[in-house]
Chains A and B, each alone.
Chain A
Amino acid sequence: MISFLDGLGRLRRGPWELVATVLIALGVVMMMQPFLLAAYTWSFLVTLTGTVMFIVVSHFPEDPRG
């Protein structure tokens, strides 16, 4: 957990890609869930944020320590 936050802080690729992946997955679930119309409405914004973030952070440096 600490190394995860540390990676976020030092703009490392791994943890940020994880955040973007979670956002995209969340957006897709929000888009297709049958419970709440509001969640559907905001799903696109979440997916878009995740996707743009993914493209940006995939250019961050890899953490040499893995």
Chain B
Amino acid sequence: MTDKTTDRTPAAARLGREITTPLGRGIKGLSDRAVAWIFIAPTIFLLLAVNIFPLIWTIRLSLTNYRANRTNAEVDWVGLRNYERILTDPDIWNSMQATAHFLVWTLSLQVLIGFSLAYLINKKFKGNDLWTTIIVLPMMLSPAVVGNFWTFLYQPQIGLFNYVVGFLSGVDPSSFSMIGDVALAPWAIVIVDTWMWTPFVMLICLAGLRSIPDSIYEAAECDRASAWRQFWTITLPMALPFLMLAVLFRGIENFKMFDLVVQLTGGGPGSVTELTSINLKREAFEKWRTGYASAYGVILFVTVFGLASIYVKALNKVKER
């Protein structure tokens, strides 16, 4: 009654084959189609209720001047005016640039350090598993709590960070304040984010390096290719899809960065570290311009969604390896 022998392509075998329909007829109980829907429906329902319904509501709100702290006030339709105002507002543009600074520097540092670490760990020295696990610890912790305790490490004079920097460079540890200084604060958040998330890039790069078959290197050795050449022609290109995956994921995460930075600097001093999410939170939950903030949210959402589609494409590419 089964025709399992058909449709056994290698790809299907690797990704778990679907049970082909003929099986459904001869067996007891509900049909496969019914089981499938019973199994999937609760998930889809919950996601619709908690994600899609709110999203549609946000889009609706974004076309009004609604304020959530004045429920009795009259609500007017303002069309696309909220979008127009956000997209011409130099303050929001500024917070986009603060985000850009944060993104560019965290991504470059994390890729540089993460890839180097992965390269070193891939030398398979004794105990590399143990040290990898230790390095990974920061990224599993609660960003808000981490941000909070870094404010302690960043205290002028009493903070460990200032002390170590002072000790190494000879600068007086009480002469600078990482989170109080307009010039230093953007770097303070870059440092903590790099400390926290470099292991993520490292882990994925390591997987990339380990996916390169030894035989390719052995062939290159036979050709007497130099170490430099092997790195540029084999190691880097072969690990690149993994690197892209890591960069995209960190890019999306840092584009919507909130918890770590809000605890670390709260967007200050002034608004130099006010990343878009913090800016948005202020508009929505401090100034209570709900309609305006909704439009802002939609803009951020569309951007993240666009990046996420690229991410999923990259994900599938890596999966095929």
Contacts and interface: CB of A to CB of B under 8 A. Distances in A.
Contact of B100 (A21, A24, A33, A51): A33
Contact of A44 (B90, B302, B313): B302
A31 B88 contact: no
A28 B303 contact: yes
Interface in B275-310: 299, 302-303, 305-307, 309-310
B103 interface: yes
B216 interface: no
A48 B302 CA distance: 6
Interface string B67-95: 00000000000000001000110100100
Given A17-B313, A40-B87, A48-B302, A28 B97 contact: no
B302 A32 contact: no
Interface in A42-64: 42-44, 47-48, 50-51, 54-55, 58
A54 B97 CA distance: 26
Please classify how large the interface on chain B is, using the bins under 10, 10 to 19, 20 to 34, 35 or more.
10 to 19
A27 B183 CA distance: 28
A32 B309 contact: no
Nearest to A29: B100
B198 interface: no
Please classify how large the interface on chain A is, using the bins under 10, 10 to 19, 20 to 34, 35 or more.
20 to 34
B65 interface: no
Given A32-B103, A37-B93, A44-B83, A24 B88 contact: no
B110 interface: no
Interface class of chain B by DSSP: helix
A38 B85 CA distance: 13
A44 B92 CA distance: 13
Nearest to B87: A41
A31 B310 contact: no
Nearest to B92: A40
Interface in A8-29: 17, 20-21, 24-25, 27-28
Contacts of B299: 44
B309 A55 contact: yes
Nearest to A30: B96
B293 to A, nearest CB: 15
A34 interface: yes
5 contacts: A34-B97, A43-B87, A47-B302, A51-B306, A58-B309
Interface of B: 83, 87-88, 90, 93, 96-97, 99-100, 103, 299, 302-303, 305-307, 309-310, 313
Interface of A: 17, 20-21, 24-25, 27-28, 31-34, 37, 40-44, 47-48, 50-51, 54-55, 58
